[in-house]
A and B are shown apart, each in its own frame.
Chain A
Amino acid sequence: MDLSAINPVLLIASLMVAATPILLAAIGELVVEKAGVLNLGVEGMMIVGAISGFAITVESGSPWLGFLASAIGGALLSLLFVLLTQVALANQVASGLALTLFGLGFSSLMGQSYVGIKPPQMGKLDIPFLTDLPFIGPILFGHDPILYLGIALTAAVWALLKYTRVGLVLRAVGENHDAAHALGYKVVRIRIMAIMFGGACAGLGGAYISLIRVPQWTEGMTAGVGWIALALVVFASWKPWRALLGAYLFGGVTVVQLNLQAAGVAIPVEYLAMSPYLITIIVLVFLSRDKSGAPASLGRIFHATH
């Protein structure tokens, strides 16, 4: 075992990369849940985003178009969830599961001819001077643009929820949909937009895995990241910056266990590989006593009687 082979700068830089898919998906789901909707289909939307982004990138040669396609793919899949929960008033837990099961099958069907291909790479940020700074250069200024988009999105969602009228209406719909309806807000319309935003974010997160983090397409490659993102929203108490913190914590766990695997620690690989899931459970246990941040109408079906 050789722990000195682990370079702290690379470790932090790759931690940020590992955290970004979780962060993107979690920020999207946070907005959805703030609007009072529980969409358990994150994993499904991520994997569909992963393959649509991958396919379009390979076909067009442009990662930018790929990421756009992944957001559209995720949002389109979330429309199925909209149909089930907002139009057909179906149970949200069951509908989310359906979305995930369908998404996993659909993505492997779409991805059959893309196995083993290497996608064109997205360029990294390279600011003359700043990127070359020792230590902080590669950590702060040496990433791909989507990573910064994730952080910008966190800030934007935070500001939107806290300071704008739109954010206030969104929260009102999530806290008490009957009252919001009585005030004349279009509960269903607002929720549909929130769900589609969540789908687009999950799609981006999925494409980040298939285009930047891995970068390759394999069936079921999201491997539970969508579910970890769902857990993250709970233990971030529905607060965007805490979601960022949590995502980095998870990115850290993932990267450290991968580094330990590579360094040949005496712990079997399988036990290291299960650590992110075990840590999710442990953190959930510690933080799930405080449910004060949960939107009051979360998961409840809204049916306007008049």
Chain B
Amino acid sequence: MIVLEKRPQPSQTWSMATPVVAVLATMFFGGVLFAALGKNPIEAIMTIFWEPLFGEFSFYYRPQLLIKGAPLVLIAIGLSLGFRAGIWNIGAEGQYIMGAIVGAGVGLAFYPLEAWYIFPLMVIGGAFGGWIWAMIPAILKVRFGTNEILVSLMLVYVAEQMLASVSLGLLKNPEGYGFPGSRNLQSWDSAHNAELFAGSGMHWGVVTALIAVIFAYVLLNRHMLGFHIRLTGEAPRAAKFAGVNPARLILFCLGAAGVLAGLAGLFEVAGPAGQITIDFNVGYGFTAIIVAFLGRLHPVGIVLAGGVMALTYIGGDIAQSNLGLPSAAIQVFQGMLLFFLLALDLLTNYRIRLASKEVA
């Protein structure tokens, strides 16, 4: 009979190995799924994981890796702080949308002025939009003990309606011939989050993501607040006795996640997306949850996980146009990854032993 024996300490080796094994398992079962859809599984997997990096057109796809990866990493870093402390902000999608709306709104208020200070103001606006949206569940949790999971998620739907509202009303392009959506920020130099080096994919969002990773690393490993976050997640009772202030922790974790998600939204709307439209958000806020877990809630891990997830987005697009693989198949593929990761985590925390069945 198989018995599980709890490890006194989570296994370091398995903790590092599970994400890799999970990716491999997802490749295998994803291949089975693609075969079931009538596609050549090996060709499909190669298209997703090989083509963007080393294929014929990789000079075009490699910069895309940064463009898709940056928002995922930015959001996931913020989420990981909360997840570590057992604070579940799952409404990053809403904070992302609000960051984009407020940031773009701040910028468009200056249109058509050309000035150096417009973009920095938009960045501040984006951070503020995400922050304020995350503060709603934070304050409700601190003040009334309201469940932050449900509130932050409900606010995603509210934010989506806001997005529809502003793209049809407040921020609608007056010269847009009646089409919904704002002015294109890409064609306005002061507001454009352009590539820093042409063709590299490197824009301000990528830079900010790297800074966020370094900050999160220092915070978690060298700072008291980071220690408190880890303590609260791993030993809530000990944290209580150590005098950790839970209200402060909630406000900080949700606030930081909101700021980073809002920034991700702003950089996206001012750069790759270019304008506020009804459906400019593509679910980065939810995919970032997978990125955070795949990266083991560790800043460096999140960078790698963000890369893998960005790869599935880009490769998925290629597979869609080349092989006719439905886009929903990629969504299933990403969901599968989280499943395998969570399931394999068993090996990190437990030892599997074969034992003879005993009485009592």
Contacts and interface: CB of A to CB of B under 8 A. Distances in A.
B273 interface: no
Given A284-B146, A288-B144, A88 B342 contact: yes
Contact of B165 (A83, A95, A219, A270): A270
A102 B328 CA distance: 10
Nearest to B152: A281
B261 interface: no
Interface in B103-150: 136, 140, 144-147, 149-150
A40 B147 CA distance: 13
Contact of B147 (A108, A219, A228, A288): A288
A97 B289 contact: yes
Interface in B154-213: 154-155, 157-158, 161-162, 164-165, 168-169
B343 A277 contact: no
Nearest to A90: B342
B334 to A, nearest CB: 7
B328 A227 contact: no
B216 interface: no
A159 interface: no
B140 A285 contact: yes
A102 B342 contact: no
A274 B290 CA distance: 27
Given A89-B346, A280-B150, A288 B145 contact: yes
Contacts of B161: 270-271, 273-274
Among B145, B328, B346, max chain A CB count under 10 A is at: B328
Interface in B271-298: 286, 289-290, 293
A227 B154 CA distance: 8
A109 B329 contact: yes
Chain A interface residue count: which class?
A: 35 or more
B12 to A, nearest CB: 19
B350 A89 contact: yes
Given A90-B343, A271-B165, A106 B155 contact: no
Contact of A227 (B136, B150, B293): B150
B154 A102 contact: no
Contacts of A289: 144-145
Contact of A277 (B155, B286, B289, B330): B155
A91 interface: yes
Contacts of B290: 101
A104 B149 contact: no
B360 interface: yes
Given A88-B343, A90-B342, A91-B342, A270 B164 contact: yes
B342 A93 contact: no
Interface in A86-118: 88-91, 93-95, 97-98, 101-106, 108-109, 112
Contact of A224 (B157, B162, B360): B157
Contact of B342 (A84, A227, A268, A306): A84
Contact of B332 (A109, A223, A227): A109
Contacts of B329: 105, 109
Interface string A223-265: 1100110110010000000000000000000000000000000
A278 interface: yes
Interface in B316-350: 326, 328-336, 338-339, 342-346, 349-350
Interface centre among A224, A268, A284 (most CB of B within 10 A): A284
A241 B242 CA distance: 42
Contacts of B330: 105
A94 B335 contact: no
A291 interface: yes
B77 interface: no
B162 A274 contact: yes
A303 interface: yes
A94 B293 contact: yes
B260 interface: no
Given A104-B331, A224-B154, A270 B289 contact: no
Contact of B328 (A89, A95, A112, A224): A112
A127 B333 CA distance: 49
A284 B332 CA distance: 32
A80 interface: yes
Nearest to B169: A268
Contacts of B6: 303, 305
Nearest to A291: B145
A60 to B, nearest CB: 22
Contacts of B313: none
Contacts of B338: 94, 97-98, 101-102
Contact of A234 (B147, B164, B169): B147
Contact of B149 (A93, A105, A228, A274): A93
A102 B336 contact: yes
29 contacts: A88-B342, A88-B343, A90-B343, A93-B149, A95-B342, A97-B338, A98-B335, A101-B289, A101-B338, A102-B335, A102-B338, A102-B339, A106-B332, A109-B328, A109-B331, A109-B332, A224-B153, A228-B154, A234-B147, A268-B165, A271-B165, A274-B161, A274-B162, A281-B140, A281-B150, A281-B155, A284-B146, A284-B147, A288-B144
Interface of A: 40, 80, 83-84, 88-91, 93-95, 97-98, 101-106, 108-109, 112, 219, 223-224, 227-228, 230-231, 234, 268, 270-271, 273-274, 277-278, 280-281, 284-285, 288-289, 291, 303, 305-306
Sorted from nearest, which 7 A-B pairs have the closest CB atoms?
Answer: A105-B331, A102-B335, A270-B165, A108-B328, A109-B328, A274-B161, A105-B332
